[in-house]
Structure 1
Amino acid sequence: MTDAMTRVWGQERPLRRPANRVPLYVLLKDRLQGLVLSHLLEPGQSLPTEAELERIYGVSRITVRRALSELAQSGLVQPRQGRGTYVRDPAQADAPCLTSFTETALRRGEVPRSQLLSFKQVHGEQPAKELLRLDEDQPMHRLRRLRLLNDRPLFVSTVYLPVALFPYLSAVDIASEGLEQSLYAIVANTGVVLEEGEEGTCAISANVHIAGFFDLEPESPVVLHTCLLLDDQQRPALYEEAVWGAPQRVRVRVESEV
């Protein structure tokens, strides 16, 4: 293990079961996922052995194996028979952009919630304008929400939708609880069919506005996850920028947050 890796794992601490009863394997998966997405672990590097992870995080072997299995399913790590588990490039991970954060959380028995921060029409904001292939005079809806899981702030989501595709969408259509808060549920009611998506992930520095939601210092490292969705006619229908509050808290699954 290199000196850099020794420092990374030396800073990790045993997990504590939270009051909201989130399973330990989910916490461990989120912690390891954060190390990968924040590039503290680079593609091609090996993770500690199951026994070492068990010792570092103070969890059982079953918990370690469940967390590694879910990370492998998301494409962030790759197990190699007899050689251990290796980090994959997050940009090449199999991240299903058409999977709803809201629906996934509800299936897990957890409680997703949304706090509406703003809803307005905008014109010139980039890169949304270019990615949605809009002319200069074509407006977009901009929906900004704080997304929470079990009342814990996870990420700030900014979604852009062409007004031409969603002419009647308004703030009253955006629920704060239940399945109705998912934009997929809202989009389905408009007749627009979302068919495929492209994703990207990178580390950025939190501005003062973002840092305030997560009790972070300005310029702290956070993770930006982007998602561009096309409809069944190959038209760009939705572009999202999701800023996750801290690397160690970065997402329940690698998937779209809408």
Structure 2
Amino acid sequence: MGRAPLWTAIRDRLTDEIAAGHYLPGDRLPTEAQLSTRFGVNRHTVRRALSALSTSGTVHSRRGSGVFVAHRPTDYPLGKRVRFHQNLSASGHMPGKTVLHLAERPADQREASALGLRSDAMVAVYEGLSFSDGQPIALFRSVFCLTRFPRILDELRKNPSVTAAFKAHGLNDYTRASTRITAKLATTTQANHLQIQPGAPIMRAVSINVDSNKAPVEYGRTWFAGDRATLLVQEDG
């Protein structure tokens, strides 16, 4: 396998530094000349790295003024108790969520297996877009057993919170049993929703949430914009 282009290393280094708070939203980055000297490359290489950061929404340029940080990548904890709004609020970010699709349909093979259902079981599907500080950071699809949660789609139409929908069915607590993270490239549809370029790096997290009896209650697939979210695996007590 060939070496990665130099500009990707510069993009990743600047992304890490912005995530660490070395540059805050509104701060101006060093000039192209300064970055060229720092990384030992020509301006074209630096310009390509900055262009990639601009495409991802991490920075924006002002003609005659320079390149400024627009958004700090969001730390997103993946722990035993995962609550989207609570996690982002605790990290100092403003959470948001848009419902894209709510539907009933037969479970596919993976969904049925994950939820412990018969292959012909009906499930509720919830697809949406998650935001941090007004910027899209993740697409998600959650699948639930309709027999156990018969009113879940109605609850989600009133309030997009899965936690609230579970509580309406008498489930007051649930935990994450497993998470599998895989690097992917954004499809055209995913890129359109996340406002990134098709083929840009994204991270897919596949998870199963369970109740206190270890019975599966949610099978989820989430696609995070690679430059906007840092996934933190936490050990919960």
Same fold (TM over 0.5): yes
Counterparts of 2:149 and 2:183, CA distance in 1: 31
Residue equivalent to 1:234: 214
Conserved? CA contact 1:154–1:251, under 8 Å: no
- The alpha-carbon deviation at position 186 of structure 1 amounts to 2.2
AA aligned to 2:198 is P
Residue equivalent to 1:183: 162
Residue equivalent to 2:118: 135
Residue equivalent to 1:113: 96
What is the count of residue pairs matched by the alignment? Answer: 178
Q: Which string of whole-angstrom CA distances, capped at 9 and with x for unpartnered residues, describes residues 38-76 of structure 1?
A: xxxxxxxxxxxxxxxxxxxxxxxxxxxxxxxx89xx7xx
More RCO (CA 8 Å, sep 6+) = 1
2:127 to 135, 139, 144: 144
- The alpha-carbon deviation at position 221 of structure 1 amounts to 2.1
Q: Structure 1 or 2: larger strand share?
A: 2
Conserved? CA contact 1:146–1:156, under 8 Å: yes
AA aligned to 1:100 is R
Counterparts of 1:225 and 1:131, CA distance in 2: 14
* Aligned positions of 1:60-139 closer than 5 A: 95-139=78-122
Residue equivalent to 1:222: 202
CA RMSD of aligned residues (A): 3.0
Q: Secondary structure at the match of 2:24?
A: coil
Q: Structure 1 6/206 Cα, relative in aligned 2: closer, same or farther at 3 Å? A: closer
Conserved? CA contact 2:136–2:195, under 8 Å: no
Counterparts of 1:122 and 1:251, CA distance in 2: 33
Conserved? CA contact 2:138–2:222, under 8 Å: yes
Residue equivalent to 1:38: none
AA aligned to 2:120 is D
1:166 to 143, 149, 152: 149
Conserved? CA contact 2:109–2:119, under 8 Å: no
TM-score, normalization: structure 2?
A: 0.64
TM-score, normalization: structure 1?
A: 0.59
Counterparts of 2:81 and 2:5, CA distance in 1: 34
Q: Structure 1 151/189 Cα, relative in aligned 2: closer, same or farther at 3 Å? A: same
Matched, 1:211 2:191: yes
Q: Secondary structure at the match of 1:201?
A: strand
Conserved? CA contact 2:97–2:130, under 8 Å: yes
Higher-Rg structure is 2
- The alpha-carbon deviation at position 172 of structure 1 amounts to 4.9
Identity %: 15
Q: Which string of whole-angstrom CA distances, capped at 9 and with x for unpartnered residues, describes residues 70-119 of structure 1?
A: 89xx7xxxxxxxxxxxxxxxxxxxx4142212112233443211111000
Conserved? CA contact 2:155–2:165, under 8 Å: no
